[in-house]
Structure 1
Amino acid sequence: MKRRILLLGMAGMLAVGCASPAPRTAHADLVEAVVAAERAFARTMAERDHQGFLGFVSTEAVFIDGDKSLVGREAIGRHWKRFYEGPAAPFSWQPDLVVVLASGTLAESIGPVSNPSGKVVARFRSVWRLESDGRWRVIFDNGYAICDCQAK
């Protein structure tokens, strides 16, 4: 009897050890799609690709710029063109948190903004929407400075 219990226990452990990893969920795939979109969006800055940047901005997007808002892709494009004009990117960004609604239609990405030397100088928050053509585009965006103070 003890031997039978031992064999059953070992068989159970073997079955668990050989089980394939849990399949990715559709939700995890959505999160990865938004992470990929955010990284590609950021790459437009590094590659100095203003037109590519505009492709990630929804036609009805709103970007916050200090105490005012930029409404629509054209206004955003005009304002952001200056960041794409020089040979080197004035800043870079990357997501460190992405969340997606269960419906899979809206997402938020948050992360650091770094200056050319790599120092984090701000954070961004972008809201993404899955649009009718199947592409994720930014509908709201806000960057905000962070404190450069010493911990006390």
Structure 2
Amino acid sequence: MTELQKQVADTERAFAKTMATRDHAAFTRFLSEETVFFSGPSPLHGKQQVADWWKKFYEKPDAPFSWEPEQVEVLDSGTLAISSGPVRDPQGKLIATFTSIWRLEAPNTWRIIFDKGNEVCDCPKK
């Protein structure tokens, strides 16, 4: 893993830790002002709209899910990165995967600009 990939993976882990520690304010600090999250019925635009919508996930004492990066790739320019990995319920069951796009917005400061989760389907095989 390159140094930039490690930076992004560490940033994603710190972002995920905000859920485990129930720290919504810290979650918000990882969001770019122009972030877009594909959460809910339609995309959420901007840091405030995403923070407001996600607040419900931070209100109960126990985290409703967790996530961690499995794959990280960074452009050669070192300014954009993608991370993806599993999303698990409190019992550790895989419930979704996520993909996040990160932008380097200041030296050593990666912020999320796009985020999308995909539910895992236990659909019968055809």
TM-score relative to the length of structure 1: 0.79
Larger Rg: 1
In structure 2, C-alpha distance between the alignment counterparts of 1:133 and 1:31, rounded to whole Å = 15
SS at 2:118 equivalent: strand
SS at 2:116 equivalent: strand
- Equivalence map 1:17-28=2 (5 Å): 28=2
Partner in structure 2 of residue 78 of structure 1? 52
Partner in structure 1 of residue 122 of structure 2? 148
Cα root mean square deviation, aligned: 1.4
In structure 2, C-alpha distance between the alignment counterparts of 1:30 and 1:41, rounded to whole Å = 16
Spell out structure 1 runs of 4+ moving beyond 6 A: none
Gaps of 5+ in 1: 1-26
1:60 and 2:34 are equivalent in the alignment: yes
Following superposition, the deviation at residue 44 of structure 1 comes to 0.3
Gaps of 5+ in 2: none
SS at 2:2 equivalent: helix
In structure 2, C-alpha distance between the alignment counterparts of 1:60 and 1:133, rounded to whole Å = 18
Partner in structure 1 of residue 105 of structure 2? 131
Partner in structure 1 of residue 62 of structure 2? 88
1:71-122: CA deviations, max 9, x gaps? 0010000000000000000000001100000000000000010000000000
TM-score relative to the length of structure 2: 0.95
Identity of aligned residues (%): 52
SS at 1:68 equivalent: coil
Partner in structure 2 of residue 113 of structure 1? 87
In structure 2, C-alpha distance between the alignment counterparts of 1:31 and 1:141, rounded to whole Å = 18
1:97 and 2:71 are equivalent in the alignment: yes
Deviates more, 1:137-146 or 1:64-73: 64-73
SS at 2:43 equivalent: strand
Following superposition, the deviation at residue 151 of structure 1 comes to 5.7
SS at 2:15 equivalent: helix
Q: How many residue pairs align between the two structures?
A: 126
Higher strand share: 2
Greater relative contact order structure (CA < 8 Å, 6+ sep): 2
